[in-house]
Structure formats: C-alpha cells, structure tokens
Amino acid sequence: MTTHSMTPTRLVLALVAAGVLGGAGATFVSTTHARAATSTATALAGPSMNAPVGAGTTAVGAPDFSQITARNGAAVVNISVSGMKQAASDADEAPAAQRRGPQGLDPNDPFFEFFRRFQGPNGGQPGQREMPVRGQGSGFIVSADGLILTNAHVVRDAKDVMVKLTDRREFQAKVLGSDPKTDVAVLKIDAKNLPVVPMGSSRDLKVGEWVLAIGSPFGFENSVSAGVVSAKGRSLPDDSFVPFIQTDVAVNPGNSGGPLFNTRGEVIGINSQIYSRTGGYQGLSFAIPIDLATKIKDQIVATGKASHARLGVAIQEVNQTLADSFKLDKPEGALVSNVDTGGPADQAGLKTGDVIRKVNGQAIIASGDLPALIGQSAPGEKVTLEVWRQGKREELTARLGDASDKKAQLAKADDAVGKGKLGLALRPLQPQEQREAGVDGLLIEDAGGPAALAGVQAGDVLMAVNGTPVKSIDQVRQAVAKSDKSVALLVQRDGNKIFVPVRIG
C-alpha cells in the first residue's frame, strides 16, 4: 500500500491533541523515575451470583483471576534492555507531560524554541554525546526451550537484552528478529524445561469479554490487571498492519510485550500501546491479536524476518460527504486516491476513485482496515477485491507485491463543511505547467467558499470531479450540476493526490 500524509481525520486530531499515543513499553529510567504506584492485581467485583436479578437481566460475576495467574504467571518474564543514545534526543523518549526544555520550559511553550536557540543547538550543552539508557518491558515464553514473544519497540536499538524469570534466574537473550510493522519481536534464551503459556485464538474473542494482563509496569514485576474487551479490529493512525484489540485493562509503561489472557487462561493478545495524555494508563489500551503475532513469530523463526504484502494504492477515509458524492449507501470502505503505476493494483485494473469495500469477502469499514488486511497477507498471494466504481459494484483479482519494495502510507481526507457554490477559480494548465505537474487537469487559481473550507488551495491541480476526469471548466460545471449534496474533488498538491469532499448544498 502506498499512502500520503495529508490532513488528519478527527481520530488523528483527537490523538494528537491528547498528547501521547504510543508504546506502553520500555520505561527509560535514565530520564524518568516511576512513582511508587503500579498496576497491581485489580479486584473486579461484578454483581453477586446470588443477588436477586431483575426480569430480562443476567447476573455476571468476575472470573477467578487468581487461578489464571497461578497457572501462567511463571511463563511471564521481565525484560531489561540497555543501549546508547544521543543525549540531545532524550526529550523525545519521555511523555510530553514529563519533558522539560531550556529554563524548565515545556517544549510546547512559545518561548521554548527562543531559549533553545539562545543556548545553542544542544540547549547549552557542549555538543551531542552518547549516554547509556536502560529500559524495561515484558514478554512471555512460548516454547520450553526458551522462545519468547515481546514487542519490537521494547528491544529496539538495544545492545544488551536480559530476561528475568519469576524464579529470579536471569538469561542473556538473543533477538532472533523484530517486525516494526506489527510491533512483534522474538527472543531466544539458552534454557530448557521452561514454563510456557497456552495459546488461544483472538478470532473467538468477543467485545465485553473479561481479559487479564500480566506484566512489569514501571518495573514492578508480575503485576496483574484485568478488565474487558472494549473493541476489536481497531485501526490506529501509526502506519500499522495491526487490527488491535482495545481493552480497558490497566496497562502502563513496562507492560509492553506482556500477554493478554482470556478467562480460560489462554493468551489472545500482546499488550502493545496505550492512549494517554500523561504517559500513564487512562482507560484505553491496545493489544496485538495473538493469531497475527504467531504468524509473524513463525516467519521470524524460519527466516529471521517478517514479510508483508503490498497492494500499491494510496487510500483515504470515506466520510458521509464522500459517500454522498460517490452515491454509496454508507460511508464505508477505502477510497483509492492514487494507484502506483505498474503496481499490483494497477495490474489488477484498480482506478483512482474506486472504493474498496471487501477483500476476500471481508468488509472494509474504515480505510485503516485495508492495510491491516493486506499487510497480513503474503507477497504473491491473490486476493479478490470488491470495489464500487461509478455507482456500480465490480470484482477484481490482484496478485499482491512485497511491502518492503515500497513503503506504505495512509492518506486521510479532511471533513468538508459549508454550503452554496463550489467557490473555485479555474483555468487550463499551460503546456509547461502540465509537464511540471505530470497530470491532466485544471489549475486552481483561487479557492473560496465551500472548497476553501474543505481544504482546497490555490495552486492545486483539479484532476477529477466525483471520479470523472476533467480538462475543461464546462466539464466541472456539468459534474457539479449532477450532484445534489456534495462533490468529491481529486486534486494534486506537491505531487500527492487526494480526494477532497466538498458540500455544495
């Protein structure tokens, strides 16, 4: 998949405004110190099984988490990592609430950059220098001879990895391989007859089901926390190929790489990320489905790396305005804003303006579902695509390429607002301008009204309206005249193409 970074959706804006969306992983004790608070065993009291129940309701009691912990706790390990890093980049590792710049200013303070420049490029320090850092995470044993699963970000750039068991034995670990796309890493320690966790299936997991996490938050080993699954198949705006399991289990820095158990004591996920304003748990945590993690583990053990498939399209979210423009019954699917020339999608016949609605029969609801599905496929694999094109359903077959050949990105469109006329001043491209742009279309000399509110700018090249290429102003007028609520403008800006939905009435 090829994507282009454009205006973020509301979800991305919400996450950026919140401050931190990232790994719940290694706590770098060289820069911050955890307070004496931890995610210890949480007593979750459901309604008593013997309590009177009203008509139409069912009594639900919390599972006995103590049995799961006693049975599987010994297979959960603490991972300590150490390495070297540039002193000037330390601030990037800590949450925004914990970072401080020159004169004690927060990096978001308007005077931060002024004082930083006044003190010199390194904040008054004599120059960039390497300094040792240490971090901690979690993992779990999946084979008795010492194979361990954890997060890729826990061991990223680590020079030394130590694994500590619950019986206090410590082992030097070798990183067999890691996959940043899925945030899965596989370690190996030289040991035998180790306790292992039983593996379950994340496919059978249900929203609302009880789950349990064991890990080392803030370095406090084998801490237990529990909660419920709050969503499945969650796509996050981090160029990831993972359909995350969302839970309300308390996960904190140091929990990363630890197992997420179901009530049968089976691992169904790897705790990986948290959504937080402070860097600590605030009610949302995300786990990698164990089915995906096992698939990546098998590839790493066999070849030392994981491979992912590539379709070769730039996509964006379908909001209600775009759905109206393309006459879709629901704002679902992945809108194709660009097709890589000669890529798998191009060879399969995909076109700009197609809306991909299903892959091998599996529905694409949010655009992020597409890279998650494609990324889990193998290069060379054939997939059946159901697309919506010019108001009709079509079916195409594509042979997927290798994602390592071209990096995938995700383009996301802004929500359009406003009513009335389109608000564009257009003119044909001059021959020199057309050669420079490399596309056919009309130059947008000025944008106002609904188009400007939707994000269209002077200098953009208008290529198509509602998926129909336009080379004259009359073609634009005719396309707009056929639309009642909104139009989808395909524009090119700085070499990137994206559909911009514009409400016109």
How much is the average pLDDT of 304-330? 89
CA–CA dist 151, 254 (Å, integer) = 11
Does 166 score more than 80 pLDDT? yes
pLDDT recorded at residue 261 = 97
At 107, the amino acid letter reads P
pLDDT recorded at residue 93 = 36
- Is 139 within the bounds of a domain? yes
**Are residues 268 and 153 part of one domain?**
yes
pLDDT recorded at residue 473 = 83
Does 61 score more than 80 pLDDT? no
At 22, the amino acid letter reads G
User: Could you tell me if 321 and 415 are in contact, meaning their C-beta atoms sit under 8 angstroms apart?
Assistant: yes
- Is 113 within the bounds of a domain? yes
SS3 142: strand
Lowest mean pLDDT among 17-21, 374-378, 498-502: 17-21
Angle at 363 between CA 271 and CA 487, to 5 degrees: 110
**Are residues 271 and 227 part of one domain?**
yes
Residue 354's pLDDT band, with cuts at 50, 70 and 90, is very high
Q: Cα dihedral angle (24, 25, 28, 29), rounded to 10 degrees?
A: 80
- Is 68 within the bounds of a domain? yes
Final residue belonging to a domain, choices 405, 437, 453 = 405
Burial of 71 (0-12, 13-18, 19+ CB in 10 A): middle
Q: Which two tokens stand for residue 271?
A: 């705790």
pLDDT recorded at residue 505 = 60
Does 406 score more than 60 pLDDT? no
How much is the average pLDDT of 349-378? 89
How much is the average pLDDT of 122-139? 68
Is pLDDT larger for residue 124 or for residue 487? Answer: 487
pLDDT recorded at residue 179 = 93
Lowest mean pLDDT among 136-145, 158-167, 479-488: 479-488
- Is 325 within the bounds of a domain? yes
DSSP string, 333-348: SEEEEEE-TTSHHHHH
Residue 237's pLDDT band, with cuts at 50, 70 and 90, is low
**Are residues 200 and 143 part of one domain?**
yes
Residue-range definition of the domain harbouring residue 493: 424-503
pLDDT recorded at residue 303 = 92
pLDDT recorded at residue 268 = 96
pLDDT recorded at residue 5 = 36
Does 374 score more than 70 pLDDT? yes
Does 149 score more than 80 pLDDT? yes
Name the helix (H) or strand (E) containing 357. strand 355-359
Residue 157's pLDDT band, with cuts at 50, 70 and 90, is confident
Does 330 score more than 70 pLDDT? yes
How much is the average pLDDT of 432-460? 84
CATH number for 367: 2.30.42.10
Alpha carbon 370 to its chain centroid, in Å, reads 12
- Is 418 within the bounds of a domain? no
Give residues with Cβ within 8 angstroms of 125, minimum separation 6.
Answer: 87, 88
Final residue belonging to a domain, choices 259, 280, 306 = 306
Q: What is the DSSP letter of 295?
A: H
pLDDT recorded at residue 349 = 94
CA–CA dist 146, 280 (Å, integer) = 31
pLDDT recorded at residue 315 = 85
CA–CA dist 293, 147 (Å, integer) = 13
Q: Which two tokens stand for residue 217?
A: 């938050």
Is pLDDT larger for residue 281 or for residue 497? Answer: 497
Over the chain, what is the mean pLDDT? 77
**Are residues 214 and 119 part of one domain?**
yes
Nearest to 260 by CA among 200, 220, 300: 200
**Are residues 225 and 341 part of one domain?**
no
Tell me what percent of the chain is helix, strand and coil, each rounded to the nearest 5.
20, 35, 45
DSSP string, 435-494: HHHTS-SEEEEEE-HHHHHHT--TT-EEEEETTEE--SHHHHHHHHHT-SSEEEEEEEET
How much is the average pLDDT of 280-297? 90
Q: How many domains does the chain have?
A: 3
Q: What is the DSSP letter of 153?
A: T
Final residue belonging to a domain, choices 358, 377, 405 = 405
Does 496 score more than 80 pLDDT? yes
Q: What is the DSSP letter of 124?
A: T
CATH number for 436: 2.30.42.60
Give residues with Cβ within 8 angstroms of 55, minimum separation 6.
Answer: none
**Are residues 170 and 81 part of one domain?**
yes
- Is 396 within the bounds of a domain? yes
Which residues are catalytically annotated? 153, 183, 256
Does 60 score more than 70 pLDDT? no
pLDDT recorded at residue 76 = 97
**Are residues 492 and 443 part of one domain?**
yes
- Is 50 within the bounds of a domain? no
pLDDT recorded at residue 185 = 96
**Are residues 338 and 283 part of one domain?**
no
**Are residues 494 and 346 part of one domain?**
no
DSSP string, 384-440: EEEEEETTEEEEEEEE-EEGGGS------PPPP---SS--EEEEEPPHHHHHHHTS-
Lowest mean pLDDT among 9-18, 127-136, 190-199, 248-257: 9-18
**Are residues 122 and 217 part of one domain?**
yes
**Are residues 109 and 15 part of one domain?**
yes
- Is 417 within the bounds of a domain? no
**Are residues 238 and 100 part of one domain?**
yes
Percent of the chain with pLDDT strictly greater than 90: 38
Residue 87's pLDDT band, with cuts at 50, 70 and 90, is low
CA–CA dist 149, 293 (Å, integer) = 8
CA–CA dist 75, 56 (Å, integer) = 41
